[in-house]
Amino acid sequence: MPAVNDRPNPFQTVEGWAKLPSGRTWGSTSAVAIDKDGKSIWVAERCGVNSCANSTLPSVLKFDERGTLVTSFGAGMILSPHGIHVDRDGNIWVVDCACTGGGGAPAPQGKGHQIYKFSPKGDLLMTLGAPGGGRDSAFFWQPNAVITARNGDIYVAEGHSSRAGANARVLVFDKQGKLKRTWGTFGKGEGQLDQPHALAIDSRGRLFIGDRGNDRILIVDEQFKVLDTWYQFSRPSGIWIDARDSIYVADSESGSVNPPHAAWVRGIRIGSARTGVVTAFIPDPEAKPPSTSSAEGVAVDAAGNIYGAEVGQKALKRYERKK
């Protein structure tokens, strides 16, 4: 099934919604999530550029529903914040991909390739992976996304490269951070992955894997049995599933980074995680960007407002229903 482009757009774009402190400008961001309160927004931003490697700015930011910055932390810790997740207890998980600049070269000063669990106040509660990364089971190499299940298990999607032989897998840890299993190898077949870039879990506990390099979403059960494969949501950079099992999928690369699928269009597709039917589409407002554009990360608050975290355009956009 090809990507679905011909759906109505019932949303209007609000730019400049989140306000940074005076003198600070937005950098690239692919990481956005909703606080436990359903209203506040968490963003991991790349320090005004596309990396925090040489910055002392805090990269983890919390905004209230009016766009006012209320909390920030993480200065000097994170090289390339890539994914963010808020668990059921309100803790903040941040993925440091270390995948910007140099195509994923070794991280400076032995940093990066880790996942951090913070309290809402910014206290470090847990670290997964070793600084500087590696390619065996004890390390991460370019992790992309993290999510927690109802039982506390931690799922990590790893592998930001499409080069043959790259890491491309999902790892499962228990709530204490002990590795339970890994799944997936690099490739294009069933049970294989190429840039597993996003993770989401629906009300039935099914795991949705944004297999971006293969232009598909894989739906698996707890034993990683593949239940379905979807192409209609286009090339998935970000996935969000709300409490009603509505699914929001961000495509930030079709037509520019991913030219072979010329008929696929960047933007946010909205539909049902139960049926796979696409019901709405928010197209990228940039018609011909030089590279990545539109939302790479996506999140939806309790009121139904959609937030798109953009790498190429260095922005956090808000989408509200048209009145």
Q: What ranges do the domains of the chain cover?
A: 11-321
Bridge partners of 169?
158
Q: Determine the 3-state secondary structure of 212 from DSSP.
A: helix
Q: Determine the 3-state secondary structure of 42 from DSSP.
A: strand
Percent pLDDT > 70 in the chain is: 91
CATH of range 11-321; options 2.60.40.10, 2.120.10.30, 3.40.140.10, 3.40.50.1370: 2.120.10.30
| Euclidean distance between CA atoms 261 and 60, whole angstroms | 34
Q: Quick one: pLDDT at residue 313?
A: 87
DSSP string, 145-210: EEEE-TTS-EEEEE----STT---EEEEE-TTS-EEEEE-EESSSTTEES-EEEEEE-TT-PEEEE
CA 79 to chain centre: 16
Q: Sheet of 306-310: strands edge to edge?
A: 11-14, 315-321, 306-310, 297-300
The answer to whether the CB of 291 falls within 8 A of the CB of 28 is no
Q: Quick one: pLDDT at residue 290?
A: 60
Q: Quick one: pLDDT at residue 187?
A: 94
Q: What is the CA radius of gyration of the chain?
A: 18
Q: Quick one: pLDDT at residue 285?
A: 72
User: Is residue 102 classed exposed, middle or buried when 0-12, 13-18 and 19+ CB atoms within 10 A define those classes?
Assistant: exposed
Amino acid of residue 124: L
Tell me the two tokens of residue 136: 């065996």
Neighbours of 207 (CB within 10 A): 22
Report pLDDT digits (tens) over 36-72: 999 999 999 999 999 998 899 999 999 999 999 999 9
Pairing of strands 154-158, 169-173: antiparallel
109: confidence class by pLDDT, cuts 50, 70, 90:
low
Identify the CA nearest to 158 among candidates 150, 77, 173, 149: 173
Neighbours of 172 (CB within 10 A): 17
Which residue matches tokens 């699928």? 261
Neighbours of 290 (CB within 10 A): 8
Residue 262 has pLDDT above 70, yes or no: no
**Which run of H or E residues covers position 298?**
strand 297-300
Residue 133 has pLDDT above 80, yes or no: no
Report pLDDT digits (tens) over 10-45: 999 998 899 999 999 999 999 999 999 999 999 999
Residue 195 has pLDDT above 80, yes or no: yes
Identify the CA nearest to 228 among candidates 266, 283, 275: 275
Q: Quick one: pLDDT at residue 156?
A: 98
Q: Quick one: pLDDT at residue 167?
A: 87
Percent pLDDT > 90 in the chain is: 76
Share of the chain residues as helix, strand and coil, in percent rounded to the nearest 5: 0, 40, 60
**What are the counts of helices (DSSP H) followed by strands (DSSP E) for the chain?**
0, 26
Q: How big is the CA angle at 84 (ends 281 and 91), to the nearest 5 degrees?
A: 125
Q: Determine the 3-state secondary structure of 46 from DSSP.
A: coil
Q: Quick one: pLDDT at residue 239?
A: 99
